[in-house]
Copies of this chain bind each other. A is one copy, B any other.
Amino acid sequence: MYSGEEQTARVQFTLMQYDEKEFQEKDFHDPEECLSAIARDKVTWINVDGIHNTELIQRIGEKFGIHSLTLEDIVNTEQRPKFEEYETYLVSIMKMISYTGEIHSEQLSVVLFDNNTVVSFQEADGGDAFDIIRTRLRTGKGRVRKMGADYLAYCLIDAVVDYYFLALEKIGDRIESLEEELVHNPTKGTMQLLHSMKREMIFLRKAVWPMRELINNFERCESRLIKKTTRLFLRDLYDHTIRVIDTVETFRDLLSGMMDIYLSSVSNRMNEVMKVLTIISTIFIPVTFIAGVYGMNFKYMPELESPYGYWITWGVMLTIMITLIFYFKRKKWL
């Protein structure tokens, strides 16, 4: 059922437990061991790295009473972002996006249980995005240690959305430099780059648009798992998602406009090529004809006998050429 690239890394369970005063952290490789280490009176976060091992995922899923459909969604990396409410838990499935020349996407699932527990599933360690949360948990800075599991779930999703901003910033820089290139030195490769960036925008849209619905449903769901104070934060997160979507749409509009620029600059260059051809041809074709006329071998051609014929002919030819050059100047072709 796992649909991502094949993976061999060992699955790792990271258990974090905390309340306002205490904080514990431990790594496990066996789900049962991890579960038995849970102390029930604290907020618990279990982060699972390695969703390719569907057998382990199923075992931990059963312990927590996760529906088999949810488990399928968690390990199916083609899954569309969505939020679902079950009786004992709420699940949010998202794409974590990073951008390093091209878009890299990873599936992240956050399950919030009614016993103050959050379980997050991902393939590789989404370390960078979650590091700030871990640091806050360890040091006790910020609000997170004072709040419940619902706030922790919010923090994880918030970290994902913040990562979108990072990726979009890099893409924005890329678009700007592409725009520069387009205006000053467009090549066939520019066009292909443009197309591949459009593709990436199509991909991003697919990842980002459902986030809006996800967070909206999260905020509005009537589950008692989410406290009122957390809902305020989710409302704020919703606005962030709208901003992400706005930016993606803006990028799409910009890329479409750049397409037009590209085509018009191709037309312009064609025009320039045509002008050079036309100017050279138009200047030399008439005078070449005149030279041809006096290259004829007729017996009786009075001009040929004249001592000034040659110079007069040159004069005529130069007059024609200069006249044409003036004509092109006036037409602003030169």
Report whether A282 and B282 are in contact in the complex, using a CB–CB cutoff of 8 Å.
no
- Chain A interface extent, by class: 35 or more
Note all chain B residues with C-beta closer than 8 A to A39. Answer: none
- Against B, the Cβ 8 Å flags (1 = close, 0 = not) of A265-297 are 111111101111110111011111101111111
**CB of A42 closer than 8 Å to a CB of B:** no
Note all chain B residues with C-beta closer than 8 A to A268. Answer: 188, 191, 266
Question: A100 → chain B, closest Cβ, in Å?
Answer: 22
Report whether A80 and B199 are in contact in the complex, using a CB–CB cutoff of 8 Å.
no
The interface-forming segment of A5-13, A14-22, A25-33, A238-246 is: A238-246
Which of the residues B236, B242, B307, B314 comes within 8 Å of A300, measured between beta carbons?
Answer: B307
Report whether A313 and B298 are in contact in the complex, using a CB–CB cutoff of 8 Å.
yes
Question: A326 → chain B, closest Cβ, in Å?
Answer: 14
**CB of A227 closer than 8 Å to a CB of B:** no
**CB of A310 closer than 8 Å to a CB of B:** yes
Note all chain B residues with C-beta closer than 8 A to A285. Answer: 280-281, 284-285, 288
Report whether B309 and A304 are in contact in the complex, using a CB–CB cutoff of 8 Å.
no
Copy total for this chain? 5
The interface-forming segment of A56-64, A109-117, A130-138, A253-261 is: A253-261
Question: A180 → chain B, closest Cβ, in Å?
Answer: 11
- Against B, the Cβ 8 Å flags (1 = close, 0 = not) of A38-66 are 00000000000000000000000000000
Would A276 and B276 be within 8 Å (CB), given that A78-B243, A267-B266, A298-B294 are in contact?
no
Report whether A257 and B80 are in contact in the complex, using a CB–CB cutoff of 8 Å.
no
Note all chain B residues with C-beta closer than 8 A to A287. Answer: 289
Secondary structure class of chain A's binding surface, majority of residues = helix
**CB of A305 closer than 8 Å to a CB of B:** yes
**CB of A67 closer than 8 Å to a CB of B:** yes
Report whether B309 and A298 are in contact in the complex, using a CB–CB cutoff of 8 Å.
yes
Which of the residues B198, B239, B275, B310 comes within 8 Å of A296, measured between beta carbons?
Answer: B310
Closest 9 CB pairs of A and B: A291-B292, A294-B296, A277-B278, A298-B310, A295-B295, A288-B289, A284-B285, A280-B282, A69-B236
Note all chain B residues with C-beta closer than 8 A to A36. Answer: none
Note all chain B residues with C-beta closer than 8 A to A284. Answer: 285-286, 288-289
The complex places the Cα of A319 from the Cα of B71 at a distance, in Å, of 73
Report whether B281 and A291 are in contact in the complex, using a CB–CB cutoff of 8 Å.
no
Note all chain B residues with C-beta closer than 8 A to A270. Answer: 267, 270-271, 274
The complex places the Cα of A278 from the Cα of B275 at a distance, in Å, of 9
The complex places the Cα of A273 from the Cα of B270 at a distance, in Å, of 10
Nearest-neighbor residue (CB-CB) of A190 within chain B:
B264
The complex places the Cα of A298 from the Cα of B274 at a distance, in Å, of 35
**CB of A183 closer than 8 Å to a CB of B:** yes
**CB of A233 closer than 8 Å to a CB of B:** yes
